[in-house]
Copies of this chain bind each other. A is one copy, B any other.
Amino acid sequence: MELYEKRLSGETLYEGKIIDLCKDNVLLPNGATAIREVVKHHGGVTVAALTDKNEIYLVSQFRYPNAGVLVETPAGKLEKGEEPLEAIKRELKEEIGAEAENYYFLGTFNPTPAYCSEIIYLYAATGLKTGEQHLDEDEFLDVKKIPIEEAVKMVLDGEITDGKSQALILKTFMLLQDGSIHKLLI
């Protein structure tokens, strides 16, 4: 089946700090037209930071849109044009005060591809040297580390609801289990 949609015209409705909003007219495969509302975002990164005992770092932070505290893997936004690996190194330093010896690239994650361009780059990191947190001025979060098996249980029990963290924790655990994470070393 032909699936492609062609942009006919569009306008930018909002240019913001984190996101822009566009509204495009598109040509559907059957020749009809439709409106596509698109949230544009530079993308983000998240990391499974693992100690030598396979503990994983998790951060708790307030997420305003649903007014609740979520438990998540450390994460951050990409600056325009920034390499994902550079962003991972910065976020590790800021959020848990760590530098890592080894980085693994675990693929990409489209959080909500129907209406948002954001792509999140998934990483794991091992060989951590931890020092002091260096949070941004407007960043408030609690950090802890727990055995990865416990984090998996929190995902399966529905306690970790953040999407990227669910995928990253389960992916990392399965790749550690079968040893294939080593092929993803960068």
Contacts and interface: CB of A to CB of B under 8 A. Distances in A.
A175 B161 contact: no
Contacts of A3: 60-62, 69, 140-142
- The binding surface of chain A is classed by DSSP as mixed
Identical chains in the assembly: 2
A48 interface: no
A2 interface: yes
Contact of A174 (B21, B113, B142, B156): B156
5 contacts: A16-B23, A17-B35, A19-B115, A39-B39, A156-B180
Interface of A: 1-5, 13-14, 16-19, 21, 23-24, 26, 28-30, 32, 34-41, 60-66, 69-70, 106-120, 137-138, 140-142, 152, 155-158, 161-164, 166-167, 170-171, 174-175, 180
